[in-house]
Amino acid sequence: MILKYTHCIILFLILSLTVGARGQSKQRPNVILIITDDQGYGDLGITGNPHVKTPVIDALAKESVRFNNFYVSPVCAPTRSSLMTGRYSLRTGMRDTYNGGAIMASNEVTIAEMLKQADYSTGAFGKWHLGDNFPSRPSDQGFDESVIHLSGGMGQVGDITTYFKGDRSYFDPVLWHNNQQESYDGYCSDIFTDQAINFIDKNKESPFFCYLAFNAPHTPLQVPDSYYQKYKDIDPSSGFGKDGKPFSEMSEKDKEDARKVYAMVNNIDDNLGKLFKKLKDLKLTENTLVIFMTDNGPQQTRYVGGMRGLKGDVYNGGVRVPFYLKYPAITKGKKDVETMTAHLDVLPTLSELCGVDMPKDRIIDGKSLLPLIKGQQVDWADRSLFFYWSRRYPELYNNMALQKGGYKLVGKTDYNAGIEDFELFHLNKDPYEQRNVIRENKGLAFDLKKELDIIYNELINSENLINPPRIRVGTPNENPVILNRNDAGGERGIWNQEEIYGNWDVEIEEGYYDITYKFVKPVMGNGKMVLEANTLVRQMENKNDNTDIIQMKKVYFPKMMGNLIPFYAVDNKNIFPFWMEMEKVD
């Protein structure tokens, strides 16, 4: 009798634990993280713009916790690496948006990889911009499903399937579905939203993480005509300045660009309406955490909430963005948070809200936003945020800033500049960064500069920056490998030029390779195709005139790490390929 009773207790405990585990699993929120590209703080109705129509996002903001002092990096790829990892971008190996510096180290742990601990289904749709080859693609970094374009933007040089479409690159594109090229019909933002909706529908029974990263309203400014017609007659410069907020003068080109941007944002808003309706139809709204944010300030001059600067600037116009978080299970109605927060905080916040552990073997620079969401008092007075932007690597005190305790020290000066060459803004009194108060606050400025120096020196000595990630060639994970211009290093500003020095940092498996070189324009015959890789040099005469494709067959490589340096030598010119494909054949 006692034995039977004991067995009953054990069985009850097992069933209780099983049900509890299942119940806990069901309580984990679904997560939808929405980020737009080059949409500034002022490109929403909710932030004071009378011209752009964003009723869906405005309604989301009114039902969300609104973080009104939320910051990102001045440009897109660094923002995305920090968002995905909770770490300053330089720690992740990210140092540029191209020039071979937009590849995140594969040893970084992304939000997707973190959530896989709790068996989340994970999907990425739209812009990735953290590496186009193994081992840095979405599928290599924790995502089960992905439909993306390559490099920093559709129509850009690194996106080999859309670049040559010119002013139609956003329409009917060839995208990359789980690393394979696939043709799609329609406009890019519609496609990415539909793919996200399909992913949600397919994974509605278990927790999911959906990363919807629109490439709009990034250039090229292409939008369906039905949306453009809504804005073609507006004056985007009208209606501002009366509230005392600074407003920059707009050229005619700026105005036309703004019309297209607002049309693109309007389209995004309609797409989010479709997405949120799907959540409602599936009865997922209550237990789905939705985040909306943008990646940096606007690229073109237009309304930016009175703030100074644009994309690329460390002034607030370049780095302060909208951030709305809605999770009905714990947030009811709107709430405003004025505490300084950042993209670094998203991973720690999701860790706590989803009940999964953050990586413990590395520095996480972000903080969980949950105490602020719950209205708890937090003491973040000693918190600082570091900003920088310059090509290739950070340039000491050139477009660099530290923000702390309501003040912001900005360096737009030389590496050996004196303190009075910096700018200091008291953001609580001067949110538009109009008055430099450094002469009255030199002691504070010195203290901020001292901390800026410490952070800068720590970050530029990051392991993933000193030993940057390399593209792996010849592995079963990706064969063939297409090396694109976005990931090419060499001369600064390497883009779509023909006569320019370029290379790719690679790690190659031993074997024989068939190599294809594609050029921007056809090359003349009677030249030589040359490939250098460490001590290995191979050259081949080309007798075909007016060809944009050259092939080398059965080129042997030992196992090696180094730079691939291809060029076509003709008439005292060295022409760099537009892209290069390497297929391991044995």
pLDDT digit string, tens, across residues 266-275: 999 999 999 9
How far apart CA 313 and CA 309 sit, in angstroms, is 6
Strand partners, 2: none
Question: In which residue ranges of the chain is CATH 3.40.720.10 found?
Answer: 27-373
Distance between CA 169 and CA 154 in Å, rounded?
Answer: 6
* CATH 3.60.15.10 assigned to 471-584: no
Report the C-alpha gap between 506 and 184 in whole angstroms. 31
CB atoms within 10 A of CB 571: 8
Q: How many residues does the chain have?
A: 586
Amino acid at the residue 340: M
**Where in the sequence of the chain do the CATH 3.30.1120.10 domains occur?**
384-465
**How far apart are alpha carbons 236 and 234 in whole angstroms?**
6
Strand partners, 32: 210, 290
Q: Name the E strands within 6-119.
A: 30-36, 65-67, 70-71
What are the pLDDT digits (tens) for 139-148?
999 999 999 9
Strand order in the sheet with 208-213: 180-183, 174-177, 145-149, 121-127, 208-213, 30-36, 288-294, 323-326, 65-67, 335-337
- Say whether the peptide bond before residue 298 is cis (omega within 30 degrees of 0): no
Torsion over CA: 153, 157, 159, 165 (sign): positive
Give residue 520's pLDDT. Answer: 96
Tell which residue, 531, 541, 526, has the closest CA to residue 503.
531
Q: How many whole angstroms separate alpha carbon 381 and alpha carbon 8?
A: 55
Distance CA 81, CA 92 (A): 7
The residues, ordered by sequence, that sit 6+ positions from 208 with a Cβ below 8 Å of its Cβ are: 30, 31, 120, 121, 122, 123, 199, 200
pTM of the model: 0.94
CB atoms within 10 A of CB 343: 30
429 burial via Cβ count (<10 Å: 0-12, 13-18, 19+) = exposed
Which residues on neighbouring strands pair with residue 404, listed in sequence order? Answer: 384, 407
How many contiguous H segments (helices) and E segments (strands) does the chain have? 12, 27
225 CB burial (10 A radius; 0-12, 13-18, 19+): exposed
Q: Cα(first)–Cα(last) distance of the chain, in Å?
A: 70
Alpha helices by DSSP H, 89-139: 111-115
φ, ψ (nearest 5 deg) of residue 581: -110, 135
pLDDT for 420 equals: 97
Whole-Å CA distances, 200 to 149, 178, 242, 272, 283 = 20, 16, 44, 13, 12
Sequence ranges of the chain with CATH classification 2.60.120.260: 471-584
Tell me the CATH number for domain 27-373: 3.40.720.10
Quote the pLDDT of residue 242. 82
CATH of 384-465, one of 3.10.105.10, 3.30.1310.10, 3.90.1170.40, 3.30.1120.10: 3.30.1120.10
Q: What residue ranges of the chain have pLDDT lower than 50? A: 1-25
R_g (Cα) of the chain, nearest Å: 25
Instruction: For the beta carbon of residue 100, count every other beta carbon within 10 angstroms.
Output: 24
Specify the pLDDT at position 26.
Answer: 53
Cβ atoms of 197 and 275 within 8 Å: the answer is yes
The residue written with tokens 């043709």 in the block is: 183
| Token duo for residue 582 | 């390497």
